[in-house]
Each structure stands twice: as C-alpha cells, then as structure tokens.
Amino acid sequence: MSDSLLIIEDESALASELAQHFAGKGWEVEIARDVKTARQALLADRLDPLVILADMSLPDGNSLDLLEQARKQKVPGEWILLTGYGGVSDSVRALRLGAYDFLEKPCPLARLEIIVAGARRSAQAQRRLASQSRDSSKRYSPSSYIGESAKTAETRIMIARLAEVPFSALIIGGETGTGKGLVARILHHGGPRADGPMIEVNCAALPRDLLESELFGHEAGAFTGAKGRHRGYLEQAHGGTLFLDEIAEMDLDLQTKLLTVLEDRSLRRIGGERSIDVDVQIIAASNRNLEARVREGSFRSDLFHRLSVFRLDLPPLRDRIDDLRQLVPALIDEYNARSGRSVRVIPDEVYRRMRAYSWPGNVRELRNVIERAVLLATDEVFPIEWMQLGQGVAVPEHAELGDGPFVAGNRLSIPLDGSMALDEMDRYIIQTALERTDHNVTAAARALGTTRETLRYRIQKYGLGAEPGVGRSEAGKGEPAGA
C-alpha cells in the first residue's frame, strides 16, 4: 500500500504541482482546498494519512485550529505547516501542538521532499508504537490474571475496576512472586494512560546514587562521569506510568525527593536550574509491610499516604490453590511455544503434589517448576520426576526445622517460618557468599548473580566490611569487601 499524503492548499496551481510531484515519488495523494473539506476528511471520514502538508491560512480558517482539533481527537499523522509569512506566535503554537515542521513559502521542492520523508519515518514509528500498545493492551487485560478461585475472581474484579480509574498513585502489596509486575502492566495498558510510556524500575537493584540519577535525571557536569544530559525515569514516564518495584528499599532522602515531585508535579534534574513539569501515574510495589516500615521509621509516612490513594494486596498461591487447574496448562503452553516442546498430558499426581505444596515462591516458583519440567520432558507427558518440589537442599543431620539458616555444600537454606526478617536473610546470604570467597567482592557478586556495584552497596548497607587480615585482593580476582 502506498504512503498517504493529504495536501491542504487553496492555491490550485500549487496544490496540483505538489500532488503531481509526490505522486511521482510513490505517494497516494489527497487534496483539500479549504478547512471544511479537510475537517470532513480527517475527523468525519477518518482519512488516515501518514503526513499532512497544510497551508496555514485558508479562505475559511486557520490550519492550526484544525491541527488542534485533530490532536484532541487523537487523529494520527505528522503535520507540516506552510505559511507565506513567518509569525513567531504561530510557529510556537504549531510546535506546541506537535507539528513536525513549520516552513515559509516558497519552499524548494527538494528541501520539502526531505522534510516530508522525515515526517513519514516519524509517522511510521508512531504507528508501530501504537500497534505495540494495542497488542500490549490485548496481552495485559484483567483476564491475564488467571484463575477461577473466589479469591482470584475478587482480585480480578478489583484490577478491572482500578484500570478504569485515572488514579495518580497506587500501592500493590503481596509476597514475592505473586504477580505484582503483571498487575502493574494490566493497570497501565488497560487504563487511560495506555497510549503513554510505562517505565519500570527495581529500587532494590540500584545503588542509592545511581537510583537518584536514574529517577530524576542529571545535567552534563553535575557529577564526575556525567558527560551529557540524562532524562530520568520520571521524565521518560511523562504522560504514562512509572512502576517502582521494591519501593521499601528506597533511601529516606530519595523518598523525600520523590514526595516533592509527586506533590509539585515538577522536578529538577541533578545539577539543573529549572523545573520540569511531569505528569506521571505512580504504581509502587513491595513485598514488605509498608505500615510496619513506617512505624520503624524506615519509610516516610507522608510518602506512604501519598502513594496509598488505592491499595491492592495480591493473594499468595497457597490461598488460591484451586487456580492450579488454569495456571499449569497456561504456563505449559507458554514454555511449549518457547522451547518447541509438546507437553500436553498432565497426570493427576502432578496436581496432587502441587496442591500439597506450600509454594513459598508463589507463581514465580510455579513458573520455574513448569519451565524445568517442560524443558526436560521427553514426550507429551509432564515429567513428575522433574518437579522437585521443596527439594534441592540436603538438610544436615544436626539441623531441624526452625533451627535457623544453614549451609550445606554449595547450597544455602533459609527458614520461611517468620523467624528471619527479609533484611536478615539478605544479610546472611551476602555474608555467606563473602566468607566463601575470602571477602572477594567480584567473586561473591559472580556467585550471587549480581553486579559488583550492587553488592558493594549492600555490603555498606549491612556493614559487612572485610575482617582484619582477610580478603586481600588477588591478581585478576577483584577487590576485598569494603573497598
């Protein structure tokens, strides 16, 4: 199909010349000689040109007014405006309305052709993004939260209702692996901001200084290594949604700065002198009890209340165990498609074992079990022997349930009976990895599957510096903890 071009021009000779030229370049050209005809074509007949080339002053009106109407009705296409006289106020208004370019007549055809080609590329990119957004809306609908149990049905109804509401902030709670990221995507792609961007950031995965720069952006020269201007996540999410996962791990001073942005709806980049308006919907998630964190003083109460316009707590898998009959086949189909397998038969023993298991890792753990079994299947039958529920750690003879964490060979066991807080688990894992690598940060980071910068941040957080005489860096192996 040819690229479509709408020419809005009241001078017949110029309109014909432009139409003939671009038709010869492979464009499918339509001509409108006044605002009324163009409005009928764009807004009523839903003509869908890639590019609109418009004379600004027409016998019955101004093309800028038509551009404004088209933008309000979300009519796609890039606009190039032509005028016989250059007015600063008109050019400013044109660019504010999102016009691709604003040109003075007469404009050489060679230059005009280059600008129209650029507008075509921009319009095609916008249409690809719109198509991806529509696909995401279909993929991330409330029905994507699979299950038929009463608890799941109740949660799905709440998700569908929230997706219809233009909320400013929301907190998603629930244990790790319950699908907080999935629900955040459903709320974005099914909501009023679906056409805008969705930016996701894990607050626990970035050191404090890097998180500040990534969230709020920085100007060139703001700090060592800041060679250019950087638009932060808040700016990038303008008009859309910012998903802050593990928000409980954010430092208090960054919480203060985030609250200021949410209250003022504007920010200043690090090292910047001017305020930048931002219109962002915030979805925050945490597997920690934020109310408890507020009482402890590690999470700001005013930020908590600002974010908790709505609250949505996701149930653990053990409370929606009847959903296994829907979840398991859906996940098997997904991993069949990814791996080229054809697992179709699910023995009743599979469901019996799954129902008897407590699923501490929730749906994320279920996904891992399904993926492993599908990849190792040799025929159409789901292999029971590869489920390995609750297996993988050999308990030493002296250890009993409730005895606390322990290390057995290359595996580490942590109790999930409430005897350890999440920070205590995190500290124990890192301390164990450091001890087993002679406090070599690089080797410990490699063993934990993380970056050295992230590990160093957590070492400082928990005060896990190298002991005297321990952890001297070895050639080619990294540096000691606390360096």
* Dihedral (CA of 369, 372, 375, 379) sign: negative
pLDDT tens across 236-278, in order?
999 999 999 999 999 999 999 999 999 999 999 998 888 889 9
pLDDT tens across 34-85, in order?
999 999 999 888 888 999 999 988 888 889 999 999 988 888 889 999 887 7
Rounded-to-integer distance, Cα 338 and Cα 327, Å: 17
Rounded-to-integer distance, Cα 189 and Cα 243, Å: 12
Cβ neighbors of 386 (< 8 A, separation 6 or more) are 372, 373, 376, 377
Q: How many CB atoms lie within 10 A of CB 321?
A: 20
Residue count of the chain, please give it: 483
User: Tokens 């690090």 sit at which residue?
Assistant: 270
Rounded-to-integer distance, Cα 285 and Cα 217, Å: 22
Confidence of residue 138 (pLDDT cuts 50, 70, 90): low
Give yes or no on whether 161-221+229-313 and 317-386 have one common fold.
no
Within 297-421, residue ranges assigned H as helices are 301-307, 324-339, 348-356, 362-376
DSSP, residue by residue, 67-99:
HHHHHHTT---EEEEEESS--HHHHHHHHHTT-
HEC secondary structure over 91-150:
HHHHHHCCCCEEEECCCCHHHHHHHHHHHHHHHHHHHHHHHHHHHHHHHCCHHHCCCCCH
Q: What is the pLDDT of residue 134?
A: 61
Burial of 254-275, coded b for 16+ CB within 10 Å and e otherwise, reads bbebbbebbeeeebbbbeeeee
CA 55 to chain centroid: 40
Give the helix/strand (H/E) hosting 4: strand 3-8
* Helices 362-376 and 324-339, axial angle in degrees (round to 10): 50
Confidence of residue 139 (pLDDT cuts 50, 70, 90): confident
- Contact assessment for residue 266 and residue 278, using Cβ atoms and an 8 Å cutoff: yes
* Dihedral (CA of 390, 395, 397, 398) sign: negative
Burial of 365-389, coded b for 16+ CB within 10 Å and e otherwise, reads bbbebbbebbeebeeeebbeeebee
Confidence of residue 406 (pLDDT cuts 50, 70, 90): low
pLDDT tens across 233-244, in order?
999 999 999 999
Rounded-to-integer distance, Cα 100 and Cα 255, Å: 38
DSSP tag of 3? E
Range 3-134 has CATH code 3.40.50.2300? yes
Q: What is the pLDDT of residue 374?
A: 95
User: Tokens 């190039």 sit at which residue?
Assistant: 80
Q: What is the pLDDT of residue 89?
A: 76
> Which three-class secondary structure state does DSSP give residue 221?
coil
Cβ neighbors of 15 (< 8 A, separation 6 or more) are 7, 9, 31, 33
Q: How many CB atoms lie within 10 A of CB 183?
A: 28
**Torsions phi, psi of 179, nearest 5?**
100, 30
Rounded-to-integer distance, Cα 132 and Cα 138, Å: 10
Domain residues of the chain, as ranges? 3-134, 161-221+229-313, 317-386, 399-483
Confidence of residue 407 (pLDDT cuts 50, 70, 90): low
The chain-wide mean pLDDT, for the chain, equals 85
Rounded-to-integer distance, Cα 461 and Cα 454, Å: 11
For strands 411-413 and 406-408, give the pairing: antiparallel
pLDDT tens across 123-134, in order?
888 787 766 666
On the question of pLDDT at 396 being above 50, the answer is no
How large is the average pLDDT for residues 206-214? Answer: 90
CATH class of 317-386: mainly alpha
Rounded to a whole number of angstroms, the distance between the first and last alpha carbons of the chain is: 62
- Contact assessment for residue 98 and residue 71, using Cβ atoms and an 8 Å cutoff: yes
How large is the average pLDDT for residues 456-471? Answer: 67
Rounded-to-integer distance, Cα 82 and Cα 63, Å: 10
Listed residue (188, 208, 202, 193) closest to 233, CA to CA:
202
- Contact assessment for residue 382 and residue 335, using Cβ atoms and an 8 Å cutoff: no
On the question of pLDDT at 362 being above 50, the answer is yes
Range 399-483 has CATH code 3.40.630.30? no
- Which of 187-201, 270-284, 371-385, 448-462 comes out lowest in average pLDDT? 448-462
- Which of 153-162, 177-186, 349-358, 452-461 comes out lowest in average pLDDT? 452-461
Share of the chain above pLDDT 90, in %: 52
On the question of pLDDT at 399 being above 80, the answer is no
> Which three-class secondary structure state does DSSP give residue 267?
strand
User: Tokens 């339509």 sit at which residue?
Assistant: 30
Listed residue (94, 7, 22) closest to 55, CA to CA:
7
161-221+229-313: what fold? Answer: Rossmann fold (3.40.50)
Rounded-to-integer distance, Cα 179 and Cα 287, Å: 11
Gyration radius of the chain's alpha carbons:
29
Rounded-to-integer distance, Cα 191 and Cα 283, Å: 12
What is the maximal distance between C-alpha atoms in the chain? 95
